Amino acid sequence: MFLTGGLKSLLPHVLRRIIRCNRLSISNTSGMAEGYKQANVVILPKSLADDFEKFCHANAGPLPLLYRSKPGDWKCPSLSSDSDIRTDCLQYRIYEHGACTGSLKSLKEYSEQLKDMVTFYLGCSFSFEKAVQNAGITVRNVEQKCNVSMYKTAVPCYSISTFCCNLVVTMRPIPESKLEAAVLATSQLKEAHGAPIHIGDPGLLGIQDLSKPDYGDPVHLHPGDIPVFWACGVTGVEAVISCRAPLAFTHSPGCMFITDLKNDHVTVRSSKEVPQVHCVSQDPLHYSVVSAEAAQKIKNLETLIGIDPGDRGIIHLHRQDELLKACLSISHARSVLITTGFPTHFTYEPPEENDGPPGALAIAAILQALEKEVAIVTDQRAMNLNKKIIEEAVQLGILKRPVPLLSYQRESADSALTFLCENGNPGRPRFDHLIAIERAGMAADGNYYNARKVNIKHLVDPIDELFLAAQTIPGVTTTGVGDGGNELGMGKVKDAVKKHIKNGDVIACDVEADFTIVAGVSNWGGYAIACALYILSACEVHDRYLRKAVGFPQLSKKMVWLSALPSVTKEEKLLKTLVRHGVRSGKTASLEMEVDGLPFYNTHSLMIEKLL
C-alpha cells in the first residue's frame, strides 16, 4: 500500500495508475498532484445528459464543466491521456431513484449499463489549493490532514427540468488579514469555482453548525480565522439526487478524478477583475466583495459630495469609504426602510425643508429598480404631504410605483422592536437596512434642534428609536446621511460635530448609524447612494458574489437601473412640486428653486451631472 507521503509531487498519470490498482490508504485527494486540476464526476443516463449540461451552464460557479463524454466513452482525451473513469477515482457512489445505495472502488461491474450513460467532469476546489498556498495562506484541511468541509446551503440553484437542488459549498478557514489575498488567488480560476461566494457567518447561508459538515470532515478554525465559502461541485451530487434517475454514479465527495491539465496561471488583470473585500456587518459577521474599479468610482462619488458649499466645517465629519461600505450593505439587503423630514421652519406650515425628500426618493427609485422592498417612515403630522409628494413622483416618472408610507409612535417599551420585526421577534426582521437622510436627530438631552439651536421636538416623532432598536437586531444595519451633524445617524461623528460645527455642543445628534455619509447637501448624499448602487449592480465581481455564483448575471437589467437614476430634469420637476406644496429651502425659508440657500441651476444641477 502507498502512504500519503510524496503523493503531492507525483504526476497525475502515475497517481491514476496507483488509484486504479487500489493501492492507496487515503480517504481524499486534497493536496495530491499539486498544481494539476482535479474534477468532480457525475455519470447519468444519456436521456438526462442535455438537461444536466444546461444545468451546469446555468450554475457555472458550483458546476464548471470541464468535459462531457459521449455515451459509453470511459476516456476523456482533453483532460487525460490514459484514463478510465470506471477505475480512476478513489471511490464512487451509486444512486438509484435519488437514493445513495452504496459506495464502491470500481465501476467495472457496471460496464454494460455505462454504455448508455454520459460522464460529466466538473471543476474542483482542490485545484486552487496550490494557488492559495502560493499566496502565503495555509490551507487548513491540508494542514490538518483531512478532507475539506462541505455543506448543503439554503441557496437554491437555477433549476433546469428535473434538476432542482440547493447549492453545496466548501469552507476553508482564512486569517482575516489574508481574506483579500484568498479572493485574489482564486478569482480567476473559474474552472476551480473561482472566487468565494460568501465570507463570514455560516448562518447567512443556512448552515447551522460548522462542526457538522454534510460531506467531508470538520476543519478547525484557528483564532483569527474567518470561514470562507466557495461553490462546490458536490452540488452535482445533490442534482443527481433531485432528478431521481433509475441509476447514476458520482465520485465520493473528496475522491476526485485527477487530470493532466495544469492550473491556469492568470496574471494580466484589469481593475474590473481585481477584487476587494470589505466588512459590512459585525453581527452577523459578513464581508462583501467588489471590483477595485467599482470601489474607486464610488470613492470618487464620495469625494464629489464632500465639498462644503455652506462653509459649515463638514470636512471634519468625513469618514473615508463610508459611502462604499453603506452601499455594499444596502446591496445585500432584501428590504430597506428610509426616513426623512427636518421641520426646521417651525413658524411655517408645512415646517419641512426641501433637503431630504428628493434624496430619499432617489434612493427609493433605484431600490425599486433593483427589485428590493422599500418603505418610507415619517412623522404622522406629515403623512398627507408625503403621500402627495410620492404620488406626484410616480406621475413624474421618478418612482415606478408608490412607496408604502408608514409612521411610528412609541406606545410601549417594545414599540420599536414590534415595528421592525414580525411579532417583535429579532430573528424575523421586516427590514435589513435603515436609511436616514436629512432626518432630525435626537441630541444628548433628548431634544431635537435645528442649526440655529431652536428646539423643534414638538414636530418630530421618535423615529430615532428605530435606529437604536436596530443596533440590537442581528442582521439589521443602518446608514445616516447628513450635512450639519444634527441629523439622525450622525452620532457616529458627534465628537467632531461638537468641536467643529457651529452650535455643535447643543445640536449634535447622539444617535449613531453603522455608516455615516457626510455631504455638502444631504440630497447629494441620496443621489450618490443611488449612483453607487447602480455601480455595484453593474459590477460583475459584486454581481457574482451577490447571486452566490448560481443563475445568470443580472447585467441585462442595466437599462432599467440606469433609467431609475436621478437626472437634472427629474430633480427640477420634483423641486417645483415641493415648492408648490410649500416646502421651503432650509437655510433661507425661500420658496424659490433652491435647496439649503443654493440655487438649483448651476449648483445642484451641476452636482447631479457630475455624479452621473
* pLDDT at residue 142, rounded to an integer: 86
pLDDT above 90: percentage of residues in the chain: 83
* pLDDT at residue 285, rounded to an integer: 97
* pLDDT at residue 4, rounded to an integer: 46
Q: What are φ and ψ of residue 277, in 5° steps?
A: -120, 130
Q: How far apart are CA 333 and CA 279, in angstroms?
A: 14
Tens of pLDDT, residues 138-185: 999 889 988 899 999 999 999 999 999 999 999 999 999 999 999 999
Tens of pLDDT, residues 319-373: 999 999 999 999 999 999 999 999 999 999 999 999 999 999 999 999 999 999 9
CA atoms within 13 A on the CB side of 558: 9
Q: With 70 as the cut, is the pLDDT of residue 86 above it?
A: yes
Tens of pLDDT, residues 430-464: 999 999 999 999 999 999 999 999 999 999 999 99
Contacts of 371 (CB under 8 A, 6+ apart): none
Q: How far apart are CA 100 and CA 103, in angstroms?
A: 8
Cα 596 → chain centroid: 35
Q: Is 407 left (phi over 0), alpha (psi -120 to 50) or beta?
A: beta
* pLDDT at residue 325, rounded to an integer: 98
**Summary count for the chain: helices (H), strands (E):** 20, 22
Kindly state the average pLDDT of the residues 13-40: 76
H/E segment holding residue 495: helix 494-500
Q: How far apart are CA 88 and CA 348, in angstroms?
A: 82
Whether the domain at 4-262 and the domain at 311-611 fall into the same CATH topology: no
Give the DSSP letter of residue 429: B
Domain boundaries, the chain: 4-262, 311-611
Give me the residues paired with residue 568 across strands. Answer: none
pLDDT above 70: percentage of residues in the chain: 96
Tell me the whole-structure pTM to 2 decimals: 0.93
* pLDDT at residue 53, rounded to an integer: 98
Burial status of residue 278 (CB atoms within 10 A of its CB: 0-12, 13-18, 19 or more) = middle
Assign 8 a pLDDT band (cuts: 50, 70, 90).
low
Tens of pLDDT, residues 42-80: 999 999 999 999 999 999 999 999 999 999 999 999 999
Q: Which CATH class is domain 311-611?
A: alpha beta
Q: How far apart are CA 171 and CA 169, in angstroms?
A: 7
* pLDDT at residue 26, rounded to an integer: 66
Q: How far apart are CA 34 and CA 131, in angstroms?
A: 10
Contact in structure between 131 and 185 (CB atoms under 8 Å): yes
CATH topology of domain 4-262: PSTPO5379-like fold (3.30.2040)
Among the residue ranges 5-14, 232-241, 564-573, the one predicted with the least confidence is: 5-14
Kindly state the average pLDDT of the residues 183-188: 92
* pLDDT at residue 21, rounded to an integer: 75
Q: With 70 as the cut, is the pLDDT of residue 268 above it?
A: no
* pLDDT at residue 173, rounded to an integer: 97
Q: Is 228 left (phi over 0), alpha (psi -120 to 50) or beta?
A: beta
Q: How far apart are CA 611 and CA 357, in angstroms?
A: 18
Q: Using CA atoms in the order 526, 527, 532, 534, what is the torsion angle rounded to 10 degrees?
A: 120
Q: Mapped to the 3 state alphabet, what secondary structure does 435-473 carry?
A: EEEEEECEECCCCEECCCCCECHHHCCCCHHHHHHHCCC
Q: How far apart are CA 463 and CA 382, in angstroms?
A: 13
* pLDDT at residue 1, rounded to an integer: 37
Burial status of residue 177 (CB atoms within 10 A of its CB: 0-12, 13-18, 19 or more) = exposed
